[in-house]
Chains A and B, each alone.
Chain A
C-alpha cells in the first residue's frame, strides 16, 4: 500500500479515534475569503468567509435555497465563483484545469443522490479513480477498496451493481469510493436527504466513525443530532450569507440571530 494510504488508514483506525476527535491542528485546510457568486443576476453567495482547519468538522445548515450546497460545490470547482478566493491545502482555486484536478484529487465528495456509476460493480466504482488517477496497480486498488468497503460494512456487496443495493448501502459505497482516493477533506452534500428513514442511521454511523478518525469534513445536513455529536462548529446560512457560526452547544441552546432561532424552532419542533 502507498504511504499516503497507510497514513489515512491509520488515522481511520477506531483505536486512535477518540483522541483524534480532540485534535484539530492549527494548519488551515480550506480558506474561503470574501467569496461571492452570482447565477446571472442573482447573487447566490455573499461575502463568504470560512476557515477550516485540518481535522475540523463543520456542519452547514440553513433553509433550502440558502446557498449551502452551492458553497461546498465551489470548494471542488463544481461551481464557479466570481469574486474572492478559495485555497485548498495551500493551492489556490483558479480556472486552471490542472489546479482544479489537483484539488479534486484531494477533496472527496458525497452527493445527495449517491451518483454511483450504474454500469460498474461496487468494487469497480471504488477502484476506478485510484487506478486511472493515482495510477495504482489494479491489485493494490482492489485491496484498498476492500479495506474501505469493510469500514463501511458492506464488503460482501463488492461484486454487485449499484442498482441491486438499498439507498443506505449505495450511500455507504459512495463514501467508500471517495475514501479510496485517500482525500484530505471530505465534502458531504445532504448525504441522508434522499434516504428512507430506516437507512439514515447506517450512513450517519459511518460518518460519525469517519469524523472520530480525524477526517476534515464539511457536511451540509439537517441532521442536528449528528451536528451535536461530531461538529466543531455549526454554520447557519440564509439568503446566501453566513448568518451565524458557533460551536454546537451554544449554537443549539443559545442562538443569537433571529433567523437562526426561527430556523431551529422549525426544524427541532417535530
Chain B
C-alpha cells in the first residue's frame, strides 16, 4: 500500500447478534411514519388530503344517503318529499328512479318473464370464467352463494315466497354445490373443458330457439348488452390479437403484410365509424334480403377493433423478450408453434398483462358507444328515461348508478390483473 503510515488493520473477532428493528419503524406507528409522514412534503399532502375528504364527504353522504328518497313516482314527488321532511332548499338524491327503472337498466326490453335466462347465463359465465382466471373453483362457489342469497332475498322482498324456486336460484344452488364438491385444483382441467361449451349455452339461453321462446335482439339492452359486447370482445380479441402480433413479426412477407394492413387500418379508424359501417353500410354489401343481426355485426366490429390494439400490446411483450429465448427454443428443435406456445407466449403475455387489461378495460367502456347507433345499452337508455315526463330533469342519480356498474367491473379487472401479476411473480421468483 502506498501510504503505509495510515494503514489500519481490522479483523472481526466476533459475530454480532441479530437485533430487532427499532419500535418506531414497525407496527401502526411505523406504517404511518413510513407512508403518511415520511417527510415534510408528505405530511403536508396527507393533511391536505384529509382536509379535502372532511370537506367533501359529509355533503355527499348527506345527499346520497341521509336525504335520499327511495319511494316516489316522479322527480316532482321526490322533491316534495324532501321539502316536507328536510325543509325548503334542501337537495337530496332521488333514487326512486333507479328503483323503478333498474330492471330496464339491467336487461333493456328483455321480456320480464324471461329474465331468468340472462341471470342463469351470468351465473354460468362466472362458473366458466373461474377456472380460466383462478386455480380453484372457490371464487365461483362464493359468487354462487351470494347470487343465491340475492335471488332468495329478492323473492322475499317481492312478497312472493312461492317464487323462491325459480331457475336462477336452482342454478345458483346447484352451482354452489358443484363448485364446492369439485372445487379442487385437480378438477380444473374438467372445468376448463366444460367452459368451452359456455358460448353455445349462452347463445341458446339469450337468443332462445328449440325449446326456449326466441327473443329478438332488438329487445336486448341495458347492462345485459354491455356484458354481451364486452365479454365477447374480450374473449375474442385476445386470441385474435395474439395471432395478429405473431403474424406481424412473421418472416412470411404476405402474412406480415396482411396483419400490418389490418392493424394499421383498424387503428386508424375511430370505433364509431366502424360501428356506423356495421349498422348501415354493411347492408349495402350484403345480398338483399339477408337479415344479418345488428348485434352480431356490432360484436364482430368491436372484437376486430379491440384485437388490433391487443396485437400491438402483445407485440410489445414479444419484442421485450431477449433474442436468446427464441434461439434457445429453436436450437432445441421445437417447431415454431411449439416454441411460441411453450416458451415465448407464456413469458410475453406475462409482460403484457398491464397492457392487455388496459385494453380490456378500454373496450368494456367503449361498449357505451353502441348507444350512438341506436342500441339501448345503459347509456342509451338514459335518454328515454330522462325524456319521460315523470323523470324529466334527473341527472346525477341515473349516471351515478351507471358509473357504479362500470366502475365495479373495470375496478374488478384492474384488481385481478394485480393479483395475477403477483401470482406469476411468485411462481418464477426471479
Query: In the complex, how many angstroms separate the beta carbon of A26 from the nearest chain B beta carbon?
Result: 27
Residues of A within 8 A of B21 (CB): none
- Residue in A111, A118, A164, A177 whose CB lies within 8 Å of B347: A118
Interface residues on chain B, number (Cβ under 8 Å): 21
Interface stretch (choices B5-13, B135-143, B323-331, B393-401): B323-331
- Indicate whether A119 reaches chain B with its CB closer than 8 angstroms: yes
Q: Which of B338, B342, B430 interacts with A118 by CB under 8 Å?
A: B430
Contact B333–A129 (Cβ < 8 Å): yes
Candidate in B328, B333, B334 with the most chain A CB atoms within 10 angstroms = B333
Q: Contact check: which of A77, A104, A118, A164 meets B332 at CB < 8 Å?
A: A104
Chain B nearest CB, measured from A174 CB (Å): 8
Interface 1/0 per residue, A73-88 and B, CB below 8 Å: 0001110000000000
- Quick one: given A117-B343, A118-B430, A163-B429, are A78 and B330 in contact (CB under 8 Å)? yes
Chain A residue numbers with a CB within 8 Å of B430 are 118, 161, 163
* Interface: B33 (CB within 8 A): no
Assess the A119–B331 pair: CB atoms within 8 A: no
Residues of B within 8 A of A181 (CB): 332-333
Q: Using a Cβ–Cβ cut-off of 8 Å, how many residues does chain A contribute to the interface with B?
A: 27
> B297-333 interface mask toward A, CB cutoff 8 Å, 1 = contact, 0 = none?
0000000000000000000000000101101101111
Contact A133 B332 (CB under 8 A): yes
Give A95-115 interface residues, CB cut-off 8 Å to B: 101, 104-105, 107-109, 111, 113-115
Q: Are A107 and B346 in contact (CB under 8 A)?
A: no
Q: CA A177 – CA B334 in complex, angstroms?
A: 13
Q: Which residues of B contact A132 (CB under 8 A)?
A: 334, 338, 342
A77 to B429, CA, bound (A): 33
Cβ contacts under 8 Å, A129 to chain B = 332-334
Which of A105, A113, A115, A163 meets B428, CB within 8 Å?
A163
Min C-beta distance of A143 to chain B, whole Å: 19
User: Residue of B at shortest CB range from A100?
Assistant: B330
Contact A105 B324 (CB under 8 A): no
Say yes or no: A115 contacts B324, CB within 8 Å. yes
Q: Which of B330, B338, B347, B427 contacts A104 (CB 8 A)?
A: B330
Q: How far is the CA of A118 from the CA of B424 in the complex (A)?
A: 12
Q: How near does chain A come to B330, taking the closest CB pair, in angstroms?
A: 7
Q: Are B328 and A115 in contact (CB under 8 A)?
A: yes
Q: How far is the CB of B22 from chain A (nearest CB, A)?
A: 32
Considering only CB atoms, which chain A residue lies closest to B344 in the complex? Answer: A117
Q: Are B342 and A111 in contact (CB under 8 A)?
A: no
Q: Which residue of B lies closest to A101 (CB)?
A: B333
Complex-state Cα separation, A132 to B343, whole angstroms? 12
- Contacting A161 at CB < 8 Å: which of B330, B346, B350, B428? B428
Mask of B345-356 contacts with A, CB within 8 angstroms, 1/0: 011001000000
Indicate if B335 sits at the interface (CB-CB under 8 A). yes
Q: A161-B428, A161-B429 are in contact. Are A115 and B334 (CB under 8 A)?
A: no
Q: Is the CB of A113 within 8 A of B334?
A: no
Which residue of A has the minimal Cβ distance to B333?
A105
Bound together, the chains give a CA A108 to CA B343 distance in angstroms of: 18
| Closest residue on chain A to residue B321 by CB atoms | A118
Q: For B424, give the chain A residue with the smallest CB separation.
A: A119
- Known contacts A115-B324, A128-B342; decide if A76 and B335 are in contact (CB<8 Å): no
Contact assessment for B346 and A119 in the assembled complex, using a CB-CB cutoff below 8 Å: yes
Q: Is the CB of A78 within 8 A of B327?
A: yes
- A106 closest partner in B (C-beta): B333
Which chain A residues border B322 with CB–CB below 8 Å? 113, 115
A115 and B333 in contact, given A161-B428, A161-B430 (Cβ under 8 angstroms): no
Task: Give CA–CA (A101, B429) in the complex, Å.
Answer: 32
- Complex CA distance for A116 and B324, rounded to whole angstroms: 9
B331:A107 contact, CB within 8 angstroms: yes
Q: Which residues of B contact A118 (CB under 8 A)?
A: 347, 428, 430
The residue that B334 contacts in the complex, of A109, A119, A133, A163, with Cβ under 8 A, is A133
- Mask, A146-169, CB within 8 Å of B = 1, is 000000000000000101100000
> CB-CB < 8 A to B343: which residues of A?
117, 128
Nearest 7 interchain pairs by C-beta:
A115-B324, A105-B333, A115-B328, A129-B332, A163-B430, A109-B331, A104-B333
| New contact pairs (12) apart from A117-B343, A119-B347, CB-CB < 8 Å | A78-B330, A101-B335, A109-B331, A111-B328, A115-B324, A116-B328, A117-B328, A118-B347, A119-B346, A129-B334, A133-B332, A181-B332
Q: Could you give 10 example pairs across A and B, Cβ below 8 Å?
A: A76-B330, A78-B327, A104-B332, A114-B324, A119-B347, A128-B342, A132-B342, A133-B333, A161-B429, A178-B332
